[in-house]
Chains A and B, each alone.
Chain A
Amino acid sequence: MTRMRFLTGTGIVLLLIGGAMQAYRPKLESPPVTAEIQAPDEVRQILRQRCYSCHSNETKLPWYDNLAPAYWVVRDDVLEGREHLNFSTIGAKPEAVQRGMLFESVNTVQLGSMPLPRYLAVHRDAGVTPDELATLRHYLATPPAQSAAPAPAAAAETQFQHWIASNGKPMGTQPDTQVQPEWNGVPFLPEYKNWKPVSSTERWDNHTMRQILGNDIALKAIADGKIDNWPDGTVFAKVAWLQQPDGKGGITTGAFQQVELMIKNSKTYASTEGWGWGRWRGDDLKPYGKDAAFQNECISCHEPVAHSDHVYTAPIGGAQ
């Protein structure tokens, strides 16, 4: 009997606290939908149902998300989610950017990082079903009507001639022309081209080919099988070239597109997941981005592999 009374008492107290919490209610605006993602209906339908609550201006919350403090958490997720990816405005961006974001979306779903796991823990039926995932994949696996034009062969030729002429002495004997560090201060390391091979990828999503290279510290960690927490001093380089069809059904490396670095230092780069991120584009190696915020792109997209120290590549051993 007393137990019952205690429970009722607690219930009433909780109700009162809960009620009081509802008084603090920062607004969650719904700005207009200006340019929705361009995609077929069946694709949009899935995104609407699974992702729009956080990644669009058409947020619809179930009643229990409208109760504080859940409301406060969800509101933060929505605001942050919109900032990273907004399907209500992304339609204004070039088609390649929209497709790129859809590839990233499929990958976050496959790797279990979207919808947010803490959201799924509560909204149990909110996840993307295997059928829905298959629909998204099928759409992306079919090339768009006017598929990306092959990289212009003439430009690649000019670039090559210029490169062998200027860079043409044996490596190490000629200091490289001064390349600017990234906006976040991460230095360009010209010696990347002499590092050992880690793996390679053909990227059919954006028509490039990549080589992943590693410095000596990376190679030693691979040889020792200690790759769950890369030692400080590890550096990876990823070099990307445009695909150039060879006219016989094969693809060769076309023009150089960019080189990216990930430099491990758990202290210096503590605020960016322990890695220093940099990307230099074009044969003049121009630092990517407008300011240091460029690195948020890198970190977001490498987040689904946080459990492998933010490294995507599964290294191929035996390169000593």
Chain B
Amino acid sequence: MKQLFAAISVVLLLSGCSPNPPKTVYPQLNREAEFRGGLSWNPRSGRVITSWINPGGTMTTLYGDDTAVNYARSHADGAYPAGAKLGAVTWKQQEDARWFGGRIPAQVASVEIVVAGGPYEKYEGSPLAAVPGSDAQRAQFLLQQRAAVMP
């Protein structure tokens, strides 16, 4: 008799009274990866030029303002018109909790801003603060990155 009841309840459960899938994923912003602190220009207000992964677990996206992006997408030489603005944002990485196999941005490690024919600035820390000094070699490196193909 007990077995019969067990069988009947299994049958009933399977035939419709089934629970909804567990809510394991909620809509969520990646707050950790946002900027904290003031910058002379917000690179993420621009558009993507390219991106790369650095040794040691950080990832960088290079953005540009309209002048920079239009130039990068039509030239390979990095000779941007004076005043074009580029910004490189480097994030620490974390495992994507929603996709084993992916790494996504965690905290911002640094923000670099370079203006063609103008200054190079670097921000670090949380909140982000300008690091004194310039780095002509690094500025040149950023200007030389080719745009990622986006047909």
Contacts from A to B (Cβ < 8 Å): 11, 14-15, 18, 64-65, 67-70, 72-74, 103, 106-107, 110-113, 117-118, 121-122, 137, 140, 156, 159-161, 163-164, 167-171, 192-197, 199-206, 209, 211, 213, 222, 225, 227-228, 239, 241, 243, 246, 248-253, 255-256, 259, 283-285, 304-309, 311-312, 314-320
Min C-beta distance of B26 to chain A, whole Å: 6
Please judge, given known A-B contacts A159-B149, A197-B63, A256-B148, whether A251 and B29 are in contact too, CB under 8 Å.
no
A163 CA / B74 CA spacing, docked (Å): 8
Closest-by-CB residue of B relative to A246 is: B52
Q: Which has the most chain A C-beta neighbours within 10 Å: B26, B52, B59?
A: B52
Say whether A306 contacts B52, CB under 8 Å: no
User: What is the interface size of chain B, counting residues whose CB is below 8 A from a CB of the partner?
Assistant: 63
Say whether A140 contacts B146, CB under 8 Å: no
Say whether B151 contacts A250, CB under 8 Å: no
Min C-beta distance of A181 to chain B, whole Å: 16
Say whether B101 contacts A200, CB under 8 Å: no
Say whether A200 contacts B10, CB under 8 Å: no
B73 at the interface (CB under 8 A from A): yes
Stretch at the interface among B91-99, B114-122, B130-138: B91-99
A252 CA / B51 CA spacing, docked (Å): 7
A192 CA / B20 CA spacing, docked (Å): 36
The residues of A that contact B1 with a CB separation of less than 8 Å are 11
Q: Scan B89-128; emit 1 where CB is below 8 A from any A CB, else 0.
A: 0000100101111111100000000000000000000000
Interface residue ranges of B24-48 to A (CB < 8 Å): 24-31, 33-35, 42, 44-45, 47-48
Find A222's partner among B26, B29, B52, B151 (CB 8 Å cutoff): B29
Please judge, given known A-B contacts A121-B13, A311-B27, A312-B99, whether A163 and B69 are in contact too, CB under 8 Å.
no
Find B69's partner among A171, A200, A308 (CB 8 Å cutoff): A171
18 extra interface residue pairs, beta carbon distance < 8 Å, beyond A113-B24, A171-B70: A64-B10, A65-B14, A159-B149, A160-B146, A164-B147, A192-B150, A197-B47, A197-B61, A202-B59, A205-B100, A211-B51, A211-B148, A253-B52, A315-B30, A316-B34, A317-B29, A317-B34, A318-B42
Closest-by-CB residue of B relative to A226 is: B27
B79 at the interface (CB under 8 A from A): no
Closest-by-CB residue of A relative to B98 is: A312
Min C-beta distance of A282 to chain B, whole Å: 9
The residues of A that contact B18 with a CB separation of less than 8 Å are 117-118, 121
